[in-house]
Amino acid sequence: MKKQCKSLLALLAFCMGTAWAAPSAQEILAASDAVRNPDFSFGLTNTLIEYRKGQQTDTNTLAIYSKADASSGQFRSLVRFVAPARDTNKLMLYSGKDLWFFDPSSKASIRLSPQQRLLGQASNGDVVTVNLAKDYGAQLAGEEDTQDGERKTRHCYKLALSAQTPDVSYPRIDIWIDTGNHQPIKARYYADSGQLLKTAYFRHYQRQLGQERPTETVIIDGLDPTWVTVMRFTDWTRREVPDAWLQRDYLPRFKPE
Amino acid sequence: MRLVLPTRWRQRRLSMGALGALAVALAFPAAAQSGDIDALLLADAPAAPTVAARDWQLFSELAAGQVHTLLGRDRDNQRVSLDLQIDHSLAPGWRAVLADRLDVSWPPQVGQEHPINTLKEAWVGWQASDTQAVDLGRINARFGVATGYSPTDYFRTGSIRSVVSVDPGSLKKNRQGAFMLRSQAVWDQGALTALFSPRLAAQPSSTPFALNEGATNASNRWLLAWSQRLNDQFNPQWLLYGEERQAPQTGFNLATLINDSTVAFAEWSGGRSRSQLAQALDLPEDRSFHQRLSAGATWTAASKLSLTLEYSRNNAALSAPAWRALQNSASIGYAMYRNWTITAQEMATRNMYAVYAHWPDALVPHLELNAMVRANAADHSQLHWLELRYHWSQIDLAMQWQGSKGSARSEFGAVPHAWELSVRKYF
């Protein structure tokens, strides 16, 4: 009887342990990626509005077509400039550090370095989607309450991310992810030196392409908090993005719809 | 009078200050986020309606400036330009592309006619699938990765009809394509392009609204271009170009990332040909192997300033002694050679160095700075160009200045000093 009781307790402990096993930090990060990014190719419109010292100073509209690379799992994107008028129909191909810019008026396809930003505050990597879990190693730094982008208190995992590949824009990121639904709430991006570069809030969750996703990202400059960029995502569409589109030689030929 | 506290008191005061700050942080954790909250409140502003994509771009430009001629006189210039670009879907798989520019100049750029119309592109394309396409019409087929001198840009000869700036970017945008049939096949990691451009006329036309096919289609030409992406770093392109009565030329393009802020590029073309002097003066001469090269790197600072250093080499151009001899000769050979190199957009001598700068948001947001210095290694002449351009949402205000250094018969010394103020309105 005593032996049976021990076995029962051991089984109970095993079952409880299995049922309550906390997800790893990397799994939390991957789940948060899945909230931001559909697991199929898609298109959306990204409207960037830049503010300095409380005044709107710039606006850009981009049509973005994204597809996860079959081998790396990372997204590759084709970005078409919609507005302002001077940039209409210029293109940017984004595939990690393989970056190309195409100007239809000069027919020039120019290779860019990651440092060559085409927009104000946002880096090239900010405007397209990325799967953080593919490029970063995550460690659980704790759980804490934090305010989300709509000033509501959310209970979050705080993850410390460190780059596992040189193909990323930021070497270190702290990200807060809701413990209940794995929605990313905010992230802080740091330079190698530890200097805060940017803070991003992921907010205005709406049902898009099958689940609740953030439809707005607010980026705040690390040095100058009055320098703010709002990225609004609209026109979410599930669509085919052929691999042939995602290369330099297709840029002069790209004509969606 | 400054009060100096004993060390023990100062330490105590610091400790109390640190404790106070800690207490504030513990009591008001949101205080650390006050900047964030201000930013989020700012971002709460109502969203403007999303701008719809469109398939055209149109701008007009008004410009006024002054040229200091080689004769020592100042001449006022005015210009009005209209630039239209349309890329329209006619039906699934079918598209029509039209790009046209009209420049009206006072005084006229050439001859007596004020307007010069440049039909840059007019073609119809049929895309049977995502991987195959055929295009027919006037097409600006441009190849090459260099910023300035571009040896594999084989269809640049005779393409410039109206010069509004010495800026290489402007020269690449404001040019007419050649009439051709072009087909392209693309696959996941590469592409093959084949094109044929027929001879349509023998002489260029200076009539204001002429198609000017004599400038772009004076001989039968063809080209094959093959690109293959090897990995994230290397995506080379090989070219084979042929022209009636000329030996085939081979070409190669490569741009690769050195680090997060630097891109290196190399562009090479080689093949048997007569020297440029023999072609310009129509001299009988045996063909020999000539090479052309442009190589360099673009480095970008955190401030967005990009600097490009480019070295160009052309073995078919004149050597330094031959150039000096031609400069000093009294024959019309000098003028014929200069005209030929300008039409063909070729280097006059064998070696050239250039620095290009591009700085968006230079010191203040929306102010763009562009600059260029080119130096001829044989006669040490230099070409300088500077542009300051301020962007509003639909209007650009630009100030350009060009200057040169060198003797009147050097490659760049003949370029007059000039400035121009222009306003561009996008519709």
- Render pLDDT for B23-34 as a digit per residue (tens, 0 to 9): 434 433 444 467
Angle at B100 between CA B140 and CA B149, to 5 degrees: 40
Confidence of residue B69 (pLDDT cuts 50, 70, 90): confident
* Nearest by CB: A247 against B39, B189, B259: B189
* Nearest by CB: A117 against B38, B257, B304: B304
Does residue A195 sit at the B interface (CB-CB below 8 Å)?
no
pLDDT of residue B61 exceeding 90, the answer is yes
- Contact flag A199-B301 (C-beta cutoff 8 Å): no
In the prediction, which pLDDT does B1 show? 35
Does residue A165 sit at the B interface (CB-CB below 8 Å)?
no
In the prediction, which pLDDT does B242 show? 97
AA identity, residue A81? F
Does residue A160 sit at the B interface (CB-CB below 8 Å)?
no
> Which residue, among A19, A17, A23, A18, has the nearest Cα to A159 in the 3D structure?
A23
* Nearest by CB: A113 against B125, B262, B361: B262
In the prediction, which pLDDT does A243 show? 87
User: Average pLDDT, whole number, for chain B?
Assistant: 90
Cβ within 8 Å of B, A 233-252 = 234-235, 242-245, 247-250
Q: How far is A136 from chain B (nearest CA, A)?
A: 18
Cβ within 8 Å of A, B 203-222 = none
- Taking the C-alpha atoms of residue B10 and residue A82, their distance in angstroms, rounded to an integer, is 61
Question: Hey, how many other C-beta atoms are within 10 angstroms of the C-beta on A220?
Answer: 27
Q: DSSP string covering B265-281, please?
A: EEEEEEEEE--HHHHHH
Q: Which residue of B has its CA nearest to A50?
A: B43
What is the pairing mode between strands B115-129 and B367-376? unpaired
- Read off the pLDDT of each residue in B61-76 and give the average, rounded to a whole number: 90
Does residue B117 sit at the A interface (CB-CB below 8 Å)?
no
- Taking the C-alpha atoms of residue A39 and residue B366, their distance in angstroms, rounded to an integer, is 37
**β-strand partners of B242:** B222
Q: How far is A10 from chain B (nearest CA, A)?
A: 43
Confidence of residue B110 (pLDDT cuts 50, 70, 90): confident
Q: How far is A4 from chain B (nearest CA, A)?
A: 51
Cβ within 8 Å of B, A 73-112 = 80, 82-86, 88-89, 95-98, 103-112
In the prediction, which pLDDT does A115 show? 86
Q: Which residue of A has its CA nearest to B255?
A: A111
* Nearest by CB: B40 against A85, A218, A226: A218
Q: Which residue of B has its CA nearest to A243?
A: B188
> Which residue, among A256, A238, A211, A248, has the nearest Cα to A100 in the 3D structure?
A248
User: Exposed e or buried b for every residue in B363-381, given b needs 16+ CB within 10 A?
Assistant: eebbebbbbbbbbbebbeb
Q: How far is B136 from chain A (nearest CA, A)?
A: 14
CA distances from A164 to A23, A184, B32, B291, B355 (A): 20, 20, 30, 43, 36
Does residue A142 sit at the B interface (CB-CB below 8 Å)?
no
The reply to whether omega before B107 is within 30° of 0 (cis) is yes
Chain A hits for B298, CB-CB cut-off 8 Å, are 113, 116
Q: What is the pTM of this model?
A: 0.88
**Helix (H) or strand (E) run with residue B322 in it:** helix B320-328
Q: Which CATH architecture has domain A25-140+210-253?
A: Clam (2.50)
pLDDT of residue B53 exceeding 60, the answer is yes
pLDDT of residue B18 exceeding 90, the answer is no
Does residue A204 sit at the B interface (CB-CB below 8 Å)?
no
pLDDT of residue B334 exceeding 60, the answer is yes
- Taking the C-alpha atoms of residue A90 and residue A79, their distance in angstroms, rounded to an integer, is 8
Distance of CA A95 to the CA centre of its chain: 14
Distance of CA B187 to the CA centre of its chain: 28
Q: DSSP string covering B98-143, please?
A: EEEEEEEEES-SSTT--EEEEEEEEEEEEEEETTEEEEEEEE----
- Read off the pLDDT of each residue in B240-259 and give the average, rounded to a whole number: 96
- Read off the pLDDT of each residue in B125-140 and give the average, rounded to a whole number: 95
In the prediction, which pLDDT does B20 show? 40
Domain residue limits, chain A: 25-140+210-253
- Taking the C-alpha atoms of residue B80 and residue B402, their distance in angstroms, rounded to an integer, is 20
- Contact flag A147-B30 (C-beta cutoff 8 Å): yes
AA identity, residue A32? S
> Which residue, among B235, B232, B342, B369, has the nearest Cα to A166 in the 3D structure?
B232
Chain A hits for B141, CB-CB cut-off 8 Å, are 107
- Taking the C-alpha atoms of residue B227 and residue B209, their distance in angstroms, rounded to an integer, is 37
Tokens 């398939």 label which residue? B55
The list of chain A residues with pLDDT below 70 reads 1-21, 120-121, 257
In the prediction, which pLDDT does A18 show? 45
Which parts of B130-189 are beta strand (E)? 132-139, 178-187
AA identity, residue A133? A
End-to-end CA distance of chain B: 66
Higher-confidence position of A120 and B157: B157
End-to-end CA distance of chain A: 74
In the prediction, which pLDDT does B2 show? 36
- Taking the C-alpha atoms of residue A95 and residue A74, their distance in angstroms, rounded to an integer, is 8
Does residue A257 sit at the B interface (CB-CB below 8 Å)?
yes
Q: How far is A156 from chain B (nearest CA, A)?
A: 15
In the prediction, which pLDDT does A5 show? 52
In the prediction, which pLDDT does A168 show? 82
- Burial degree of B324 (CB within 10 A; 0-12, 13-18, 19+): middle
Does residue A171 sit at the B interface (CB-CB below 8 Å)?
no
Mutation site for B-interface testing, chosen from A47, A112, A124, A249 by largest number of B Cβ within 10 Å = A249
Higher-confidence position of A245 and B274: B274
pLDDT of residue B280 exceeding 50, the answer is yes
Q: Which residue of B has its CA nearest to A167?
A: B260
Question: Hey, how many other C-beta atoms are within 10 angstroms of the C-beta on A112?
Answer: 23
Q: Are B128 and B74 in contact (CB under 8 A)?
A: no
pLDDT of residue B273 exceeding 60, the answer is yes
Structure tokens at B242: 């042929």
- Read off the pLDDT of each residue in B113-133 and give the average, rounded to a whole number: 95
Q: Are A46 and A240 in contact (CB under 8 A)?
A: no
Chain B hits for A200, CB-CB cut-off 8 Å, are none
**Helix (H) or strand (E) run with residue A238 in it:** strand A227-238
